[in-house]
Amino acid sequence: MLGLSGLFSGDMAIDLGTANTLVYMRGKGIVLNEPSVVAYHVKNGKKEVLTVGDGAKMMLGRTPGSIQTIRPMSEGVIADFDVAEAMIKHFIRKIHKRTTFSKPKIIVCVPHGATPVEKRAIRQSVISAGARKAGLIAEPVAAAIGAGMPIAEPTGSMVVDIGGGTTEVAVLSLADIVYARSVRVGGDRMDDAIVAYLRRKQNILVGESTAERIKTSIGTARMPDDGRGSSAQIRGRDLLNGVPKEIEVNQAQVAEALAEPVQHICEAVMVALESTPPDLAADIVDRGVMLTGGGALLGDLDLALREQTGLPISVAEDSLHCVALGTGKALEFEKQLLHVIDFES
Ligand SMILES: Nc1ncnc2c1ncn2[C@@H]1O[C@H](COP(=O)(O)OP(=O)(O)OP(=O)(O)O)[C@@H](O)[C@H]1O
Ligand SMILES: [Mg+2]
């Protein structure tokens, strides 16, 4: 049985994502899952935090001049340190309200390609947000653990984490990274591609939130068999006369809009396979590739990847939570997984 200290130690694992921040608490699981967005009130040139997370995301693209919404994470790393720190503090305090604990130990996942400077900055943000000790874990390792892959075995496993900012492709064996590469293609680029397509082909301007809604509702990586697929009604501004307009968008159009980002993801997988030592590559051909992250939920992405790479592809259960769950597991099984956590400063 877990002792009280184990249950309420307050130790946390954080997935600080470009799109979403998730917090896992030891003994409890995921206790927070909110967009990585901070809204500021700008008064006399001074910024004051107005709201963070869900509330701030609703304001994106809808703010008056006195309010600013900022996404502190970009392409997987901290783009704005002060804002990121404010966000981490806010989330920790929010959880703090519900539980009492002393200064927690916190493990945060970082992109494989994060520089030493970026890693130090993340560590410092967490310490100054109230942690006693800060550990880092590489995001692909966390994603693979969270997806339940057998990373400790002497077998090649390939995980592809498609987040908001980046897609990280990694090959793991014996609980370590054999190959990893991050490409700057993820959900955000898909949203941009939809905005650009509608502007170019339909003369209609939509905001990023609308583009994201189109993607998550009818988005697909593959041309529908009937050449059209299902459709959705969307609203935007008619670029010819400047007035709001409603049009119908179908899945074939979305597939066309998303062809380029999808192609980039396929290429990243192929490059990874080519760069992997032959025996490990053979394991991957046998066992397939695991997709994690929110982008893995794009309709038929698994099929498109299978067609273009010839590899067996599976989508992880709970793909949006894999990294947080894997980081949480590293926290729970710290002793066994110590070699994948970096507590150095
Ligand atoms: N059903 C869906 N279809 C397509 N995309 C989706 C779906 N659900 C969520 N997404 C996208 O997934 C992305 C968020 O995924 P995730 O939470 O894994 O990213 P993140 O971890 O915050 O980003 P990163 O890992 O790049 O820092 C968003 O771009 C979101 O629009
Ligand atoms: Mg992520």
Same domain for 337 and 213, yes or no, is: no
For residue 137, the CA-to-ligand 1 centroid distance in Å is: 20
CATH number of the domain encompassing residue 167: 3.30.420.40
Question: Tokens standing for 135?
Answer: 């550990």
pLDDT at 101: 60
Residue 214 sits in a domain whose CATH number is 3.90.640.10
List the structure tokens of 201: 């082909």
Cα separation, 282 vs 222, in Å, equals 27
User: In this model, does residue 10 exceed pLDDT 70?
Assistant: yes
User: Does residue 314's CB lie within 6 angstroms of at least one atom of ligand 1?
Assistant: no
Kindly report the protein residue whose alpha carbon is nearest to atom 8 of ligand 1.
Answer: 294
The pLDDT of residue 306 is 97
Residue 147 lies in a domain: no
Q: How many domains does the chain have?
A: 4
For position 6, what pLDDT does the model report? 42
Residue 322 has pLDDT above 60, yes or no: yes
Same domain, 18 and 160: no
The mean of the pLDDT values for the chain is: 92
Mean pLDDT on 14-35? 95
User: What are the tens digits of pLDDT across the range 113-142?
Assistant: 888 988 998 898 888 888 899 999 999 999
pLDDT at 229 over 50: yes
Are 171 and 311 in the same domain? yes
Residue 178 is encoded by which pair of tokens?
């054999």
Same domain, 101 and 17: yes
Query: Residues 163, 205: one domain?
Result: no
- 228 within domain boundaries: yes
Domain boundary among 48, 70, 92: 70
Query: Which pLDDT tens digit goes with each residue over 233-251?
Result: 999 999 999 999 999 999 9
Do 204 and 279 reside in the same domain of the chain? no
Q: Is 224 part of any domain?
A: yes
Residue nearest to atom 25 of ligand 1 (CA): 163
- Asked if residue 330 lies in contact with residue 142, where contact means CB atoms within 8 angstroms, the answer is yes
Q: Are residues 210 and 104 in the same domain?
A: no
Q: 206 and 230: one domain?
A: yes
Ligand index nearest the alpha carbon of residue 163: 1
> Could you tell me if 133 and 207 lie in one domain?
no
Q: How many CB atoms lie within 10 A of CB 315?
A: 17
The percent of residues above 90 in pLDDT, for the chain, comes to: 74
186 CA to middle of ligand 1, Å?
A: 7
Residue at 200: amino acid letter:
R
Q: Which atom of ligand 1 is nearest to the CA of 21?
A: 22
My answer on whether 89 and 105 are in the same domain is yes
pLDDT classification of 98: cutoffs 50, 70, 90: low
**Do 15 and 138 belong to one domain?**
yes
Q: Identity (one letter) of the amino acid at 96?
A: H
φ and ψ at residue 163, rounded to 5 degrees: -100, -160
User: Which structural domain, as residue segments, surrounds residue 273?
Assistant: 155-185+264-315
CA 108-111-113 angle, to 5 degrees, is 135
192 domain residue, yes or no:
yes
Asked if the model's pLDDT at residue 313 lies above 70, the reply is yes
Q: Distance between CA 30 and CA 14 in Å, rounded?
A: 9
Has residue 149 been placed in a domain?
Answer: no
Residues, beta carbon < 5 Å, ion ligand 2: 17, 163, 323
Question: What is the pLDDT, as a whole number, of residue 206?
Answer: 97
Q: Report, as an integer, the average pLDDT of 289-303.
A: 98
CB distance 241 to 257 below 8 Å: no
Answer for the pair 169, 184: CB distance below 8 angstroms, yes or no. no
159 in any annotated domain: yes
Establish if 111 belongs to a structural domain: yes
> How far, in Å, from the CA of 242 to the mean position of ligand 1?
31
Supply the pLDDT for residue 128: 87
Q: Do 120 and 18 lie in a common domain?
A: yes
Residue 78 — pLDDT band, cuts 50, 70, 90? Answer: confident
pLDDT value, residue 4: 43
- 329 within domain boundaries: yes
Q: Is 300 left (phi over 0), alpha (psi -120 to 50) or beta?
A: left
Where does the pLDDT of residue 79 fall: very low under 50, low under 70, confident under 90, or very high at 90 and above? confident
Kindly indicate the confidence band of residue 97, based on its pLDDT and cuts at 50, 70 and 90: low
